[in-house]
Amino acid sequence: MSNPTLQQTIEALAKEKGLEPEVIVAAIEEAVKTASRKYYKTNEELHARFNFETGQVDLFAVKQIVAEVTKPDIEVSLTEAQQLYGEEAEVGMEIEFPKSTEVLGRIAAQTAKQVIFQKVREAERENIYAEYNQRVGEVVNGTIKRFENGDIIFEIGRIEAVLPRKEQSRAESYTPGDRIRAVIRAVNRNAKGPQIVLSRTDAALLVKLFEQEVPEIYDGTVVIKGAVREAGDRAKVAVYSRERDVDPVGACVGMKGTRVQSIIRELRGEKIDIVEWSEDAVGFVTSALSPAKVQRVSIVDEHERVMEVVVEDRQLSLAIGKKGQNVRLAAKLTGWRIDIKSEEEKRREVEAQLEGLEMPGEDGEPGEDEAPAPAPVLVLPDIHDEVVASLRDAGYESAEMVATASIEALIEVPGIDEATAESVLAAAQAEVEAAAARAQGDTDAGDAAPVEAAGDTEEAGDAPAEDVQDAQPE
């Protein structure tokens, strides 16, 4: 007698979970075998097999034919086997002895149910891993389902994914039911809870959004050479055109900024600087410091990839950016360590070096009263001398170098923890701003108004439209 109900249930469950029916059948067979072992409490080798004709699960005890029986639970004598199956039975063959499954009680049924659920979950997780592990780096659309300890649980179709707190942009706020796009950061095979880890802060999200919005990037005419972000604040993208007639920056910006504006809206107002990539390191660094105007760039150490950049006095704060953000992103984008100085600071440095030269006396010997001027040293008010000395030993020779460093880089200096690094960074930025203010005070009254305007733009935070203007090709 067939049991179509069980077969229909298997097919429905397989369709719901996105699994093959054979996977469900294997889970049922394993569940019946596990429950039978607990009920019979025997050492027999039990096998379960789903009968597709009857819709029932048949249970067997498998025994091997031997000449002399030493283990009755798993062996049967040749004489007994021939009585059952005739002369065809031979030593080494296996015989299946049917066992009843109707005697299995409620506890055995509960055990079988747990095993089925476990096997189905394992198969489902394996399917998710196999599918989404190939899609790491892709952008997916999802709906916010709920919040768990600061993490956001997304629903992608019938699958749940997690957006951890550290992968969320601080400029964004969410509510259940919101639909947003995120990039697949990783897929965990054995993790408890959602396996798919999403991100809204990864630079890959920015790259994928540009690929979706800019046809020239999608077809390969324009190539994104690099992208860096400080999620919620600012991002920089370096682009390159494979065709001379196509302007890479203009293609990304779009007519009246329409293309980049849609990306800015998706990232909740994050400012984006689009710069043209160049094989010339000096030219690339000059572009990467946009929107600041650079006067000159010189390579200090090509092996260590260190550059010195000189800007106008009134452009210093704009080049460094709020809390060193602009130069920090430019350094990440180009891969060069950038030391920014104002023209006034560079002039004082050159004068100090000239004064340090020993002048010859009347007899052609160096003057005894002349002494070389001391080299510029790092000075940070309110910071302990031992910390300043450690910074000098680590190669930080000026407040500008410290102000452009990241918290992670400062923590690597011996004797500096995270709290100290934050204090050092704040002191360095204050010293740089004070130096910029002193330099601005030396300018004439005619230059005062443009200086104030540039400072207001950076501190107040450019509107997205202004960022688009900064990204326009010259």
pLDDT in tens, 157-182: 888 899 999 999 888 888 999 998 99
Residue 439 shares a structural domain with residue 296 = yes
Residue 296 shares a structural domain with residue 419 = yes
| Most confident among 38-42, 68-72, 186-190, 304-308 (mean pLDDT) | 304-308
Q: Which structural domain, as residue segments, surrounds residue 194? A: 136-201
pLDDT band per the 50, 70, 90 thresholds, residue 286: very high
Mean per-residue pLDDT for 381-393?
Answer: 78
Mark which of 153, 186, 201 sits at the end of a domain: 201
Per-residue pLDDT at 191: 65
Lowest-confidence segment of 79-83, 284-288, 408-412 by average pLDDT:
79-83
Q: Is residue 302 part of a domain?
A: yes
Place of tokens 């091997």: 64
Residue 83 shares a structural domain with residue 187 = no
Q: Is residue 335 part of a domain?
A: yes
Instruction: Report H helices in 19-159.
Output: 21-40, 78-85, 106-132
> Which has the closest alpha carbon to 253: 264, 242, 266, 244?
264
Residue 315 shares a structural domain with residue 432 = yes
Q: Is residue 472 part of a domain?
A: no
Query: What is the pTM assigned to this prediction?
Result: 0.59
Q: Residue 114: give its domain's CATH number.
A: 3.30.1480.10
- Structural domain tally of the chain? 3
pLDDT band per the 50, 70, 90 thresholds, residue 442: low
Mean per-residue pLDDT for 138-147?
Answer: 91
Q: Is residue 92 part of a domain?
A: yes
pLDDT in tens, 208-263: 999 999 999 999 999 999 999 999 899 999 999 999 899 999 999 999 899 999 99
Residue 456 has pLDDT above 80, yes or no: no
Residue 189 shares a structural domain with residue 301 = no
Residue 194 shares a structural domain with residue 103 = no
Q: How far apart are CA 24 and CA 372, in angstroms?
A: 85
Q: Is residue 331 part of a domain?
A: yes
Per-residue pLDDT at 311: 92
Q: What is the pLDDT of the chain when averaged over all its residues?
A: 80
Q: Residue 338: give its domain's CATH number.
A: 3.30.300.20
Q: Is residue 412 part of a domain?
A: yes
Q: How far apart are CA 58 and CA 217, in angstroms?
A: 60
Residue 333 shares a structural domain with residue 394 = yes
Q: Is residue 365 part of a domain?
A: no
Residue 145 shares a structural domain with residue 74 = no
Note whether 381 and 387 are within 8 A (CB): no
Residue 299 shares a structural domain with residue 414 = yes
Q: How far apart are CA 405 and CA 397, in angstroms?
A: 12
Lowest-confidence segment of 142-156, 210-224, 231-245, 411-425 by average pLDDT:
411-425
Residue 45 shares a structural domain with residue 143 = no
pLDDT in tens, 326-368: 999 999 999 999 999 988 888 888 888 888 765 554 444 444 4
Per-residue pLDDT at 470: 37
Per-residue pLDDT at 441: 63
Residue 4 has pLDDT above 70, yes or no: no
Residue 90 shares a structural domain with residue 149 = no
CB hemisphere CA count around 141 (13 angstroms): 4
Q: Is residue 267 part of a domain?
A: no
Mean per-residue pLDDT for 194-202?
Answer: 90
At 92, list the tokens.
């080494």
Top pLDDT among 394 and 288 is at: 288
Note whether 240 and 225 are within 8 A (CB): yes
Mark which of 149, 169, 201 sits at the end of a domain: 201
Q: Residue 162: give its domain's CATH number.
A: 2.40.50.140
Residue 436 shares a structural domain with residue 304 = yes
Lowest-confidence segment of 86-95, 109-118, 378-387, 442-451 by average pLDDT:
442-451
Per-residue pLDDT at 377: 58
